[in-house]
Amino acid sequence: MRRKMLFRIFIGILLVILVSFFSISYSIRKLALEQSKEKANIIAQIIKDSLTSFMVNGIMDKREEFLHKIKEVKGVKEIRVVRSDTVIKQFGKGLLYEKPTNILEKRVLQIGIEQEFLDEGIKSVVYKVIIPYKAEVYKGINCLNCHQAKEGEVLGAISVSIDITLIRNVGIIITAIFFIIVTFIVILFGYYMAKFFEPYIKTMEDLEKNLEKAAEGDFSDNIPIRTDDESGSVSKKMNETFKTLSKTLEEIESNIKYIIGYTLNKSGNALKDTSKMVSELLKIYQFKRVIEKDPSKEEVYKRIHYTIKDYMGFNRGTFYEVDENKNTMKIAFKLGEENWCNETILKDANECRAKRTGVDVDSREFDCICPSFTKCGGDNGYNHYCIPVYTGGHIGNILQIVYEKENNDLINLYIPYIKSYLSETAPVLEAKTYMEILKEQTLKDTLTNLYNRRFFEEISKKLSAEILRRNSTLGILMIDIDFFKKVNDTYGHDVGDKVIKTVADTIKKSIRESDYVIRWGGEEFLVLLMDVQPGFSEKVAEKIRKNVEGRFIEFPGGTLKKTVSIGVAEFPIDTNQIWECIKYADVALYKAKELGRNKVVRFEKSMWQGEEY
């Protein structure tokens, strides 16, 4: 910046000197020309008056001597009287030098207008003026009395050449002296100006440097205060501004850290880092607002899956859901198709190091840090990072990220962001879990822990639609404990509850995990057999009947055995209305009771005498 300022001062000085030089030169030249022209006009006028007088007095032969005398005037180089054709015709050619010798003289004789010419060379400067002499009344003397010419006709011309070389040379000397004086003054002025502006220039340089750093997010440097005027005040205010801005950015960073719970990686540019943190905070806030309105944990899991895979670009890993009571884990979603952990962690959650320790697991710390990782040991090309997510005071989820070892440094940039999203997700997942537990409690029977009738009412439409869409068969078994009232009357309600729980357990163990057992009411149960082959429902019903019949029920004071009656119907074979099919299974159940109980009866159309459902 200082070089630019000095260069500008130098250019300014140079322009001042050049302008001064040309101004003086022009002024001297103009003055010389004006004086020469005036002198030439005076001489021409004297000659004109004298020649007129010579003519009137008849002594024109004396003109040559007169002209020689005029030539002796200082500065006069040449004087000539030029005759026009009209005068030559009347009085003759005259003297030899009275003929026109150049274009300008001929032009003046032709058009009658004064002409001037400057002949400027290195050694000399000559100013020539040619003044026309016309036939007219001049100072009381009528030229037409002597000359045979028309009024206003050009009779001749007076050519005067003035040597202004001396004036030119004097002007050059004066200009040179002035140039030297002005140059010295201007240089001296420029030197003192440079000294005067030096602290201001340095301040501007420092200001420019600090602003460049500020654009990169660095507000650490101060500008030295060199003067007591406005420049020093500006430096002081800029230092205070940078200090305040730096402190403000630090406070913003601290507040964001407090909100999200983590410090995001810094690039060294405070402005970009702050903008990035605020932008990420906004995204996290928007993410939380969205998942808070999602209807279930499954929907929240989809959001997490999208954020980690599509937004952050990770395509390997697993997100687990932990059942603290059972100490088991299940896969909520996978990033990619591959399984990266042994299935033992699903049955025993403590086999997962992140679950067992409750802290992050980073395979970069120690190779094979978690033996459950399938790529544990050897040069497999992959590392993994596992993050436990706490919900309700215990670990509710585990996020596992798997990445190529060549991206070891890159993972450091993403982990804080991932943790920020998981931190915002944790309370939402906790709330969704509690809501599911509460909902499940309203849909389950407290005695048997089986689903209740309300559960079926909620899933009936969806279930029937799925069966019809898959073109499959749903087996419906309506089961009733034979002579249950007698148990309550004989042994009491505690034994009755024991019988219901035992029968429920027997039914549950007799079917697949994908099937549903519902306590329909009292001693009655509804079994839904998912995707069975037509006619296979009777076989399952017979299996249940035999298993119940063969099981002893122990209670204080003795044991007893019970039987069940089962009605069977199949949806949509018997009807494409699911509630109608339930009714058909109930009709078959009552038919089994009529036939002596402890039987399985398949519904037939002949059993239904009522109207269509």
The secondary structure of residue 512, as a DSSP letter, is: -
Mean pLDDT taken over the chain: 82
The structure tokens listed for 472 are 């499959």
pLDDT > 80? residue 382: yes
pLDDT > 70? residue 200: no
> What pLDDT score does 320 carry?
96
- Tens digit of each residue's pLDDT (9 = 90 or more) over 217-273: 676 777 788 788 877 787 778 777 877 877 777 777 777 666 655 565 666 677 777
Query: Predicted confidence band at 140 (pLDDT cuts at 50, 70, 90)?
Result: low
The structure tokens listed for 435 are 């809501």
The structure tokens listed for 141 are 């003397």
Section 265-285 average pLDDT: 73
Query: Predicted confidence band at 9 (pLDDT cuts at 50, 70, 90)?
Result: low
pLDDT > 70? residue 204: yes
Task: Annotate 382-398 with b (16+ C-beta within 10 A) or e (fewer).
Answer: bbbbbbbbebeeebbbb
The structure tokens listed for 424 are 């915002």
Cα(385)–Cα(102) distance, integer angstroms: 107
The secondary structure of residue 308, as a DSSP letter, is: I
- Tens digit of each residue's pLDDT (9 = 90 or more) over 524-567: 999 999 999 999 999 999 999 999 999 999 888 889 999 999 99
pLDDT > 50? residue 332: yes
Q: What is the largest CA-CA distance in the chain?
A: 184
- Tens digit of each residue's pLDDT (9 = 90 or more) over 556-613: 888 999 999 999 999 999 999 999 999 999 999 999 999 999 999 999 988 887 555 4
Cα(516)–Cα(507) distance, integer angstroms: 10
For residue 451, count other CB atoms closer than 10 A to its CB.
21
> What pLDDT score does 78 carry?
79
Q: Are residues 271 and 217 in contact, defined by beta-carbon separation less than 8 angstroms?
A: yes
> What pLDDT score does 60 carry?
66
**What are the two backbone dihedrals, phi and then psi, of residue 157, each rounded to the nearest 5 degrees?**
-155, 155
The alpha helices in 343-396, defined as continuous H runs, are: 344-347, 353-357
Q: Which amino acid is at 476?
A: I
Contacts of the segment 371-377: beta carbons below 8 A, 24+ positions apart: 372/341, 372/342, 372/344, 372/345, 373/340, 373/341, 374/339, 374/340, 374/341, 374/342, 375/340, 375/402
Of 448, 429, 444, 438, the residue nearest 390 (C-alpha): 429
- Tens digit of each residue's pLDDT (9 = 90 or more) over 51-76: 676 666 667 666 666 777 776 677 77
Q: Are residues 46 and 63 in contact, defined by beta-carbon separation less than 8 angstroms?
A: no
Residues 6+ apart with CB under 8 A from 225: 232, 235, 236
The alpha carbon of 535 is separated from its chain's Cα centroid by a whole number of angstroms, namely: 65
**What are the two backbone dihedrals, phi and then psi, of residue 330, each rounded to the nearest 5 degrees?**
-140, 155
Section 402-429 average pLDDT: 86
The alpha helices in 358-491, defined as continuous H runs, are: 408-442, 453-469, 484-491
Task: Give how far Cα 510 sits from Cα of 140, 213, 501, 540, 546, Å.
Answer: 157, 76, 14, 8, 10
More confident residue, 35 or 544: 544
> What pLDDT score does 206 carry?
73
Q: Are residues 44 and 80 in contact, defined by beta-carbon separation less than 8 angstroms?
A: no
Which percentage of the chain shows pLDDT scores above 70? 84
**Which of 9-13, 272-276, 506-510 is the least confident region?**
9-13
Contacts of the segment 510-514: beta carbons below 8 A, 24+ positions apart: 510/540, 510/543, 510/544, 510/547, 511/540, 511/544
Q: Are residues 416 and 264 in contact, defined by beta-carbon separation less than 8 angstroms?
A: yes
Known catalytic membership, residue 523 = yes
Cα(265)–Cα(412) distance, integer angstroms: 8
pLDDT > 70? residue 283: yes
- Tens digit of each residue's pLDDT (9 = 90 or more) over 475-524: 999 999 999 999 999 999 999 999 999 999 999 999 998 899 999 989 99
Cα(371)–Cα(581) distance, integer angstroms: 52
The region that residue 326 occupies, defined by phi over 0 for left and psi between -120 and 50 for alpha, beta otherwise, is alpha
pLDDT > 80? residue 2: no
Q: Are residues 349 and 328 in contact, defined by beta-carbon separation less than 8 angstroms?
A: yes
Section 8-35 average pLDDT: 69
Section 389-397 average pLDDT: 89
How long is the chain?
613
More confident residue, 205 or 556: 556
Residues 6+ apart with CB under 8 A from 248: none
**Which of 144-148, 423-427, 535-539 is the least confident region?**
144-148
Q: How many helices (H) and strands (E) does the chain have?
A: 16, 19
More confident residue, 116 or 495: 495
Cα(165)–Cα(180) distance, integer angstroms: 23
Most confidently predicted of 178-187, 199-208, 529-538? 529-538
Q: Are residues 193 and 216 in contact, defined by beta-carbon separation less than 8 angstroms?
A: no
Task: Give how far Cα 196 sits from Cα of 15, 38, 150, 185, Å.
Answer: 21, 50, 76, 16
Please tell me which residue in 105, 351, 424, 523 is annotated as part of the active site. 523
**What are the two backbone dihedrals, phi and then psi, of residue 142, each rounded to the nearest 5 degrees?**
-95, 110
More confident residue, 434 or 613: 434
> What pLDDT score does 333 carry?
94
Q: Are residues 565 and 460 in contact, defined by beta-carbon separation less than 8 angstroms?
A: no
> What pLDDT score does 613 carry?
44
Burial class (CB in 10 A: 0-12, 13-18, 19+), 485: exposed
pLDDT > 60? residue 171: yes
Section 162-187 average pLDDT: 76
Query: Predicted confidence band at 347 (pLDDT cuts at 50, 70, 90)?
Result: very high
Of 577, 478, 487, the residue nearest 520 (C-alpha): 478
More confident residue, 3 or 121: 121
> What pLDDT score does 203 carry?
74
**Which of 4-8, 129-133, 355-359, 500-504 is the least confident region?**
4-8
